[in-house]
Amino acid sequence: MNKAWRIGMAAVAAAVFGTAVSANARETYVDDSRLPASKCYIKTLVPAKVYVNTEGELVRPQKQQWVVRKVGDVEQWELVTLPAVYVETRKIVEPAHYTLQRVSCDAPPEPAGPPALSCYNTGGSRVICEQVN
C-alpha cells in the first residue's frame, strides 16, 4: 500500500503543478467578425472540481479489543475502541477546462505571474496544495 500511496501522491502533485504551469501562459483572442465593435478575451484555465470522500472504501470496521498493561505486579485491563479504517476515494465532478474572459481591447494584457498555492499538512508526511483564485 505504501508504493501505491506514493504513486497516487506523485500523480496528485503532477496534476497540481501541471495545472500551475499551464495557467501561467496567457493567450488573448480577438473576435473581429464585426469590424466596428471588436471583442477581446483572455483564455483562463478553470481547474477540475473533485469530490473527495474520506469514508470511501472500508478496509477494517470499527472494533473493540482489550489492552493489558502491567504496572509492577498488577495487570490493568482496558477495553479500547479502534476506529474504522477507510481508503479515500475521489470523483471528478467537473473536468478542467478553459474559459474566455472578456477584456478591453485597448488595454495591454496583464502579465501572468505564477498562481498562488495554498498548501496544508493533513497528517504524517502528506501535504495537499490547492490553487487560490
Residue 54 has pLDDT above 80, yes or no: yes
pLDDT band at residue 23 under the 50/70/90 scheme = very low
**Rounded Cα–Cα distance for residues 81 and 63 (Å):** 6
Residue 35 sits at φ, ψ, to 5 deg, of: -60, -40
Q: Is the dihedral of CA 120, 122, 125, 131 positive or negative?
A: negative
Residue 41: inside a domain, yes or no? no
Residue 114 sits at φ, ψ, to 5 deg, of: -65, 145
Residue 82: inside a domain, yes or no? yes
**Rounded Cα–Cα distance for residues 83 and 17 (Å):** 34
CA angle 131, 9, 132 (to 5 degrees): 5
| Domain carrying residue 69 | 49-94
Residue 127: inside a domain, yes or no? no
Residue 75: inside a domain, yes or no? yes
Residue 78: inside a domain, yes or no? yes
Residue 14: inside a domain, yes or no? no
What distances in angstroms separate CA 36 from CA 33, 39, 61, one per listed residue?
9, 10, 68
The reported pLDDT for the residue numbered 1 is 45
The reported pLDDT for the residue numbered 86 is 95
Q: What is the pTM of this model?
A: 0.43
Pairing of strands 74-82, 39-46: unpaired
Residue 22: inside a domain, yes or no? no
Residue 72 has pLDDT above 80, yes or no: yes
Backbone Cα Rg of the chain: 25
For the chain, what is the domain count?
1
**Rounded Cα–Cα distance for residues 110 and 125 (Å):** 37
